[in-house]
Chains A and B, each alone.
Chain A
């Protein structure tokens, strides 16, 4: 069991309030991702849940019980840190066994659980090595191993993949998702990378400036961003945000259209511009288009075979059903 509830939680460092009063319920077994730009308070929020920071006001409930005043060890949560925080002087086996030894578990039970975790994470051959002799991905797995042996109510991940190279990151992303399916435990995952958020999450919490901007499934956030910030943050490449008369004609201050929801033509369309830089990814081509009033550069996702060169004139037709309208405060207009 691992339901986590935050009630009116705030956090201030001196004069600065980094978490505004906030209510959030994370259901048992859910994979929740906190995402937002750096400094948005997502790591602080995770540390508040972990108990590594004290809340300034409000309550944290774990499985319905008030855990606000409990020390981290008593909350039944396990955390994987950005730097992995492995104990360098201990072997992998002793690293993974450390929380169990601290809990004064019997030798046999410790051995059984460590073997089990090593099996799940493919760490069998490395049990007697030191962390210094492992690669980044293996260290990451040891850190996860140290978390799972405790059989916690929930796992907390603090940007665990940011120290890995791109290829390894994709692999570890899958492994963590697999692990979630296998264990079915609540997981909270902090990242600044919206791709990680979109691919892994059951539910995404978008934060900015200590405020929750929107909570929802990846597709909800993609299809119906509730404000301009979420619209710009979720989706890659970023949504085009058009201001000025073009937006006013639709009855909005800002008009949003994703690069993939535009039709490209050489002869006709409401918007005309010239092709700037094009990024060829093979499967797709991202074209940067200049000269469209209210948004420069304008990004369009075209097929990989598109035959357009720098300086060519193009016409764009938006998919009207997928236009997003935002008012002067940046809120979505239905």
Chain B
């Protein structure tokens, strides 16, 4: 990449990829923005012309909007807390030498390979079913009344299903981070009189800061758009309607593309607010 000719050649070679990626991103985005300003009802007359800001005001003034936003934040937040806390503990555990560690490590990653729809169905039918589920069986074993998980503890159930799927991801990243910790640092801390808990708090946890940041950022991006787990289990009932799910209902169940698109634009704004917020708190771990 030294001469003028090679630089312009490089630009030319990269152009197709750049144009494709840009189009890939810009076309759906601009279409969403375009539809959000139209009155577009596919089964009731199609595109009925310019709507101005009406879709936007209707989407926000709907009684389901704010509950959906709070449900989204609660579910995303809880999954983040569960996966990071358990992920750190699991990573610590898997870092210890024990017999069969290689196989256990592979098994731990396994849930991440299960498709979201499949994992949700398995949880719903095999574990959480109030009559035939394993958990119901366990409850009865101790003489307790089985819980109708998805209706009585719906948010918790959804968080459990999603956290189960994302825990391996967090564990894997945190495990590699723990393995990169210089052992002499831990020994130095031991010589300096730090007990196991102090070594964890003063050496291991700060060392994991960057990895935790990455886990939180990546997971947030994916968790804001979770859909299959809700669609398969509660169908958005029992207070599990997230913003993504609400948009889906507006577009497909109410057949109102304009209204759904306005919701999509709100979702983009919400995602950016969350991202900005996260960057503020944890982003400083990424430099240095």
State whether the Cβ of A252 lies closer than 8 Å to any Cβ in chain B: no
Contact assessment for B190 and A72 in the assembled complex, using a CB-CB cutoff below 8 Å:
yes
* Other-chain contact of A82, B184, B189, B288 (Cβ < 8 Å): B184
Contact assessment for B191 and A78 in the assembled complex, using a CB-CB cutoff below 8 Å:
yes
Contact assessment for A99 and B190 in the assembled complex, using a CB-CB cutoff below 8 Å:
no
* Other-chain contact of B182, A83, A89, A102, A103 (Cβ < 8 Å): A83
Distance in Å from the Cβ of B76 to the closest Cβ of chain A? 28
Distance in Å from the Cβ of A329 to the closest Cβ of chain B? 39
* Other-chain contact of B192, A52, A82, A89, A102 (Cβ < 8 Å): A102
* Other-chain contact of A85, B187, B209, B288 (Cβ < 8 Å): B187
State whether the Cβ of B132 lies closer than 8 Å to any Cβ in chain A: no
Chain A window 133-176, contacts with chain B (Cβ cutoff 8 Å), 1 for yes, 0 for no: 00000000000001000100000000000000000000000000
The interface residues of chain B lying within 8 Å CB-to-CB of A77 are 191
Cα of A290 to Cα of B50 in the assembled complex, Å: 100
Number of A-B contacts (CB under 8 A): 58
Cα of A103 to Cα of B207 in the assembled complex, Å: 22
Cα of A24 to Cα of B213 in the assembled complex, Å: 50
State whether the Cβ of A315 lies closer than 8 Å to any Cβ in chain B: no
The interface residues of chain A lying within 8 Å CB-to-CB of B198 are 102
Cα of A75 to Cα of B84 in the assembled complex, Å: 37
State whether the Cβ of B46 lies closer than 8 Å to any Cβ in chain A: no
Main secondary structure of the interface of B (DSSP, over half): helix
Cα of A127 to Cα of B72 in the assembled complex, Å: 45
Interfacial residues of chain A within 56-107, with CB under 8 A of chain B in the complex: 71-73, 77-79, 81-83, 85-89, 98-99, 102-103
State whether the Cβ of A197 lies closer than 8 Å to any Cβ in chain B: no
Contact assessment for B184 and A81 in the assembled complex, using a CB-CB cutoff below 8 Å:
yes
Contact assessment for B190 and A87 in the assembled complex, using a CB-CB cutoff below 8 Å:
no
Q: What residue in chain A is nearest B187 (Cβ atoms)?
A: A52
Q: What residue in chain A is nearest B190 (Cβ atoms)?
A: A72
State whether the Cβ of B185 lies closer than 8 Å to any Cβ in chain A: yes
Contact assessment for B193 and A79 in the assembled complex, using a CB-CB cutoff below 8 Å:
no
Cα of A78 to Cα of B189 in the assembled complex, Å: 11
* Other-chain contact of A87, B187, B193, B202, B209 (Cβ < 8 Å): B202
The interface residues of chain B lying within 8 Å CB-to-CB of A89 are 206-207, 209
Chain B window 172-208, contacts with chain A (Cβ cutoff 8 Å), 1 for yes, 0 for no: 0000000000101101111111100010001100110
State whether the Cβ of A275 lies closer than 8 Å to any Cβ in chain B: no
Give the number of residues in A that approach B within 8 Å (Cβ atoms): 24
Chain B interface residue bracket vs A? 10 to 19
Q: What residue in chain A is nearest B210 (Cβ atoms)?
A: A89
Chain B window 35-66, contacts with chain A (Cβ cutoff 8 Å), 1 for yes, 0 for no: 00000000000000000000000000000000
Q: Which of A50, A77, A99, A130 has the most CB of B within 10 A?
A: A99
The interface residues of chain B lying within 8 Å CB-to-CB of A132 are 288
Contact assessment for B203 and A87 in the assembled complex, using a CB-CB cutoff below 8 Å:
yes
Contact assessment for B194 and A102 in the assembled complex, using a CB-CB cutoff below 8 Å:
yes
Interfacial residues of chain B within 231-288, with CB under 8 A of chain A in the complex: 288
Distance in Å from the Cβ of A68 to the closest Cβ of chain B? 17
Contact assessment for B192 and A99 in the assembled complex, using a CB-CB cutoff below 8 Å:
yes
Distance in Å from the Cβ of A155 to the closest Cβ of chain B? 11
Chain A interface (Cβ < 8 Å from any Cβ of B): 50, 52, 71-73, 77-79, 81-83, 85-89, 98-99, 102-103, 130, 132, 146, 150
Task: List 4 other contacts, CB 8 Å, given A52-B187, A79-B188, A89-B206.
Answer: A73-B192, A78-B191, A83-B182, A86-B185
Chain B interface (Cβ < 8 Å from any Cβ of A): 182, 184-185, 187-194, 198, 202-203, 206-207, 209, 288
21 contacts between A and B (CB under 8 A): A52-B191, A71-B190, A72-B187, A72-B190, A72-B191, A73-B192, A73-B194, A79-B187, A79-B191, A81-B184, A82-B184, A85-B184, A85-B185, A85-B188, A87-B206, A98-B192, A99-B193, A102-B193, A132-B288, A146-B188, A150-B192
The 7 closest A-B pairs by CB, nearest first: A73-B193, A99-B192, A85-B188, A85-B184, A102-B193, A89-B206, A81-B184
